[in-house]
Amino acid sequence: MKLKGISKLVLAGTALAATAATLTTATYAWYVTNAKVNATGVQGSVAGAAAGSLFIAPNTRAENSTTDKPGVYVTKISLPNAEHTGYYQPASGLDAQSLAKEDTYVKADDVTNGNYAGKKANLVIKDGENYSAAGESYDGEANYYYKTAQGAWGDKDGLPIDGKLLTFKFWLKSSAAGNAAITLKVDNTTATANTQKALAGTGLPAINSTDVVQGQSFAVDAVHALRMKLDKTPYTTNASTNALEEKTASITHNTYQVDALADNYNTANTTAATTNGIAFATGGDAGTYYKAIMGYAPFNTTGFGTENGTGVSTDNGSGDAPSTTVNVSLGADEDTLLSFSVWLEGSDADCFDSCRGQSFKFDFEFNFTVSA
């Protein structure tokens, strides 16, 4: 059936559930988790009448291929239950991590002749105030530092790491130029929350407006420490070959603080809080708590670092104020690939150890408006 004159399509129920289980090495903030991710149930309904239509398609990609292509455009899609390169790629574990806002240098006290070959790619030599690339061979007299370059992922100490992300993709296409406004709904689906005992008396959150005190057990909502980045790549169809070609290079939208972007997100409305009786603590500062125990501030929090600046507080993973709306511009009859990346922001004030083992689900709603 061909649909005409439809101005708005609402897509709901993108049940992208991420289930995490902690590793035994977690300490304080910047916890480490394993994640098994599945995605199901992108559903849609058509409403309105006027001059435009909006449709959604799954992303398809052959195994061992890097070429993304849209599947059939419909009003609803269902993502597979198993990992697939065309749909989403869960990392083997979601580690707390943060993007370096400037080059960060950390003293490399653990470098030896025996491990130098495996570490030299991230090493530099400091001479006075200057840094230079490490040589091919180990130099016992050199002053070695690890370098986390601006825009690269760092761990709690600012050391370079391979970022681990939950990524997923799908396509939108509209018959007229316009904007697809995204509303995100998030649910914490944790069956049983892990708790932690307050080992310090500073930086602690509150439970139902009552401050947690040292020695008390508490849990925080991991959703508050999630960040999401959206990349958009518009394509056009080559009239001669009928092949899709990138119209422009990928456009990176803002990095979003998930709980700020989510529609009326609050702990009371989560499955975990309503069905499992979890009273999540709120309002703490995991960085301050970490410093009270460890004696130094973690990466990307105020006071971090002695070699290259103090770091910065992270509001939404990009240093900007959290955004609460996303509008994706769409050209008429253009295939537009949306690529989402989600991670745990280690420098977030809610990134306590008790985030480990929690599950969460995303629901996306797209509301299309034809350009004037």
Judge if 347 and 328 occupy the same domain: yes
Judge if 181 and 318 occupy the same domain: yes
Judge if 69 and 40 occupy the same domain: yes
235-261: burial string, b at 16+ Cβ within 10 Å, e else: beeeeeeeebeeeeeeeebbbbbbbbb
pLDDT at 86: 58
Judge if 184 and 289 occupy the same domain: yes
Residues of the chain with confidence (pLDDT) below 70: 1-52, 78-93, 305-323
pLDDT at 224: 92
Judge if 315 and 178 occupy the same domain: yes
pLDDT at 281: 94
235-275 tens-digit pLDDT: 988 888 888 888 887 787 778 888 888 877 887 778 888 88
Please check whether residue 103 is in contact with residue 308, taking contact to mean a CB–CB distance below 8 angstroms: yes
Q: Is residue 28 part of a domain?
A: yes
Q: Is residue 118 part of a domain?
A: yes
Judge if 119 and 265 occupy the same domain: no
- Pairing between strand 123-127 and 144-148? antiparallel
pTM: 0.82
Q: Is residue 154 part of a domain?
A: no
pLDDT at 20: 44
Q: Is residue 198 part of a domain?
A: yes
pLDDT at 2: 32
Query: Could you tell me where the beta strands, DSSP code E, fall in 66-177?
Result: 69-70, 88-89, 93-99, 104-107, 123-127, 130-133, 144-148, 153-154, 166-174
**Which among 229, 204, 347 has a CA at the least distance from the CA of 283?**
204
Binning the chain into helix, strand and coil, the percentages to the nearest 5 are 10, 40, 50
Residue 344 has phi, psi (to 5 degrees) of -95, 120
3-class DSSP assignment, residue 46: strand
pLDDT at 83: 58
Mean pLDDT of the residues in the chain: 78
Q: Which domain holds residue 249?
A: 8-97+162-370
3-class DSSP assignment, residue 225: helix
CA angle 330, 334, 338 (to 5 degrees): 60
Judge if 205 and 305 occupy the same domain: yes
Judge if 210 and 332 occupy the same domain: yes
Q: Is residue 2 part of a domain?
A: no
Q: Which helix (H) or strand (E) holds 196?
A: strand 196-197
98-108 tens-digit pLDDT: 988 888 888 99
Q: Is residue 121 part of a domain?
A: yes
- Pairing between strand 335-345 and 93-99? parallel
Judge if 64 and 114 occupy the same domain: no
Residue that has been written with the tokens 């609050």 in this structure: 266
